[in-house]
């Protein structure tokens, strides 16, 4: 696989639920809506989705309940067979893989964490984390060493002999994350893993998750219905409605330039100033004068400077190099829209 090849590539994927999805799909007309399909006795869980996920990217898929988020991710791992289209993982068409090769791909490349922790109640933390390695047939010493390594990574060192009932909800979730990391997956699927946690623990888990991603640089598909969570975690966000992707872009671009009315309504209450970064507003052929601001700084971070500065154009740098200039008025416009 070349460096430019997406880790996951999805083209015109459909997943239709009903009595004979393949036959129904062949008879469908291009103008059929989600409601038209439902009136015909079928449900379009995924509708004509084309999407790439790059190596090391964190793609967050979000939408309301029933929008198709979980169905799409289950198609990525072929827990659901798609009705039509193609899905490749590291260049392999997963629909063409025999069952044994598909199982090997999941075991060697994919980690999965779901909202329900799924811990084995009569096994200790150590044994829960080592369980997938046991299923692989690894010897006891090897799986113990790996389990201890990832238990330390997720901050549970010293609790190896605890049972799930002796842990808080956040700690149980960490065990679930450690278990999925034990197999050293290249691709990580997380389906609303923090939604059952209270707000304080949820934020702690998000912080922990960001720390782990900085250390491990996994390719991640993360499902949530919480836009604030998506903004904290995502490199890109895909917003789904009725099985289709309404827009897939960076958080900055989604709040600045919503592609559809649905996305606009989805994002209208978001404080743009804490989402939009100076680098997004920088114009490459305009540099301005004076001290530059960091491309990673949000407009909220720069609020005081934008209000009191007198420059029309403020230089913006990335890793010490000036990449362009931000019109001060553009920054003020974003700042005012947030209030």
> 281 and 265, same structural domain?
no
- Examine residue 280 and state whether it is found in any structural domain, yes or no: yes
In the predicted structure, residue 173 carries a pLDDT above the cut 90: no
> 332 and 242, same structural domain?
no
> 22 and 93, same structural domain?
yes
- Examine residue 82 and state whether it is found in any structural domain, yes or no: yes
**Which of 270, 296, 329 is the endpoint of a domain?**
270
46-55, 113-122, 181-190: segment of lowest average pLDDT: 113-122
In the predicted structure, residue 174 carries a pLDDT above the cut 90: no
- Examine residue 136 and state whether it is found in any structural domain, yes or no: no
Residue-wise pLDDT for 191-209, tens only, equals 988 877 778 778 888 888 8
> 265 and 246, same structural domain?
yes
* Total structural domains within the chain: 2
Q: In what order do the strands lie in the sheet with 84-89?
A: 43-53, 8-17, 84-89, 92-93
The CATH number given to whatever domain includes residue 310 is 3.10.580.10
> 287 and 241, same structural domain?
no
* Residue 2 binned pLDDT confidence (cut-offs 50, 70, 90): low
pLDDT value of residue 87: 98
Residue-wise pLDDT for 291-301, tens only, equals 999 999 999 99
> 265 and 281, same structural domain?
no
CB 312 within 8 A of CB 328: yes
* Residue 286 binned pLDDT confidence (cut-offs 50, 70, 90): confident
CA 317/CA 277 separation, integer angstroms? 12
**Domain containing 315: what range?**
273-337
- Examine residue 257 and state whether it is found in any structural domain, yes or no: yes
CB 274 within 8 A of CB 338: yes
- Examine residue 125 and state whether it is found in any structural domain, yes or no: no
The CATH number given to whatever domain includes residue 265 is 3.40.50.300
- Examine residue 217 and state whether it is found in any structural domain, yes or no: no
> 86 and 54, same structural domain?
yes
Write down the number of H helices and E strands in the chain.
14, 14
- Alpha-carbon distances of 327 from 297, 309, 315, rounded to whole Å: 15, 11, 9
CA triple 85-89-95, angle to 5 deg: 45
**Which of 244, 270, 296 is the endpoint of a domain?**
270
- Examine residue 208 and state whether it is found in any structural domain, yes or no: no
Please identify which residue in the block is written with the tokens 């960076």.
250
pLDDT value of residue 120: 92
Residue-wise pLDDT for 50-104, tens only, equals 999 999 999 999 998 899 999 999 999 999 999 999 999 999 999 999 999 999 8
> 302 and 282, same structural domain?
yes
For residue 151, what are its two tokens? 């238990």
Residue-wise pLDDT for 232-259, tens only, equals 999 999 999 999 999 999 999 999 999 9
> 313 and 246, same structural domain?
no
DSSP E strand boundaries for the chain: 8-17, 43-53, 58-62, 84-89, 92-93, 110-114, 187-191, 219-224, 236-241, 244-249, 282-283, 293-294, 313-318, 321-327
CA 179/CA 189 separation, integer angstroms? 13
> 71 and 35, same structural domain?
yes
DSSP characters for 114-150? ESS----TTS-HHHHHHHHHHHHT--HHHHHHHHHHH
Looking only at Cα atoms, what is the longest distance across the chain?
67
> 93 and 53, same structural domain?
yes
- Examine residue 128 and state whether it is found in any structural domain, yes or no: no
SS3 content of the chain, % helix, strand, coil (to 5): 40, 25, 35
> 82 and 8, same structural domain?
yes
**Which of 270, 288, 314 is the endpoint of a domain?**
270
């Amino acid at each position: 696989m070349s460096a430019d090849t997406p880790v996951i590539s999805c083209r015109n994927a459909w997943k239709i639920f009903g009595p004979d999805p393949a036959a129904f799909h062949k008879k469908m007309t291009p103008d059929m809506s989600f409601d038209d399909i439902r009136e015909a006795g079928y449900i379009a869980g995924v509708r004509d989705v084309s999407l790439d996920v790059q190596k090391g990217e964190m793609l967050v898929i979000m939408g309301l309940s029933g929008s198709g988020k979980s169905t799409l991710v289950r198609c990525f791992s072929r827990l659901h067979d798609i009705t039509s289209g193609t899905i490749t993982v590291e260049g392999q068409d997963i629909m063409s893989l025999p069952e044994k090769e598909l199982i090997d791909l999941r075991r060697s490349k994919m980690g999965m964490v779901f909202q329900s922790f799924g811990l084995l109640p009569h096994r200790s933390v150590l044994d829960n984390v080592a369980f997938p390695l046991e299923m692989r047939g690894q010897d006891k010493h090897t799986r113990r060493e790996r389990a201890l390594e990832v238990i330390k990574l997720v901050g549970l060192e010293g609790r190896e002999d605890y049972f799930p009932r002796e842990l808080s909800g956040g700690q149980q979730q960490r065990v679930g994350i450690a278990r999925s990391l034990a197999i050293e997956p290249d691709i990580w699927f997380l389906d609303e893993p923090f939604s059952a946690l209270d707000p304080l623990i949820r934020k702690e888990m998000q912080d922990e998750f960001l720390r782990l991603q900085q250390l491990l640089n996994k390719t991640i598909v993360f499902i949530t219905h919480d836009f604030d969570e998506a903004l904290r975690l995502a490199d890109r966000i895909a917003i789904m409605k009725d099985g289709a992707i309404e827009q897939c872009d960076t958080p900055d671009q989604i709040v600045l330039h919503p592609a559809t009315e649905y996305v606009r309504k989805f994002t209208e209450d978001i404080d743009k100033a804490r989402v939009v970064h100076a680098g997004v507003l920088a114009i490459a052929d305009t540099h301005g004068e004076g001290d530059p601001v960091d491309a990673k700084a949000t407009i909220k971070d720069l609020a005081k400077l934008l209000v009191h500065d007198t420059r029309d154009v403020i230089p913006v740098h990335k890793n010490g190099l000036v990449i362009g200039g931000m019109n001060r008025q553009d920054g003020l416009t974003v700042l005012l829209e947030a209030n």
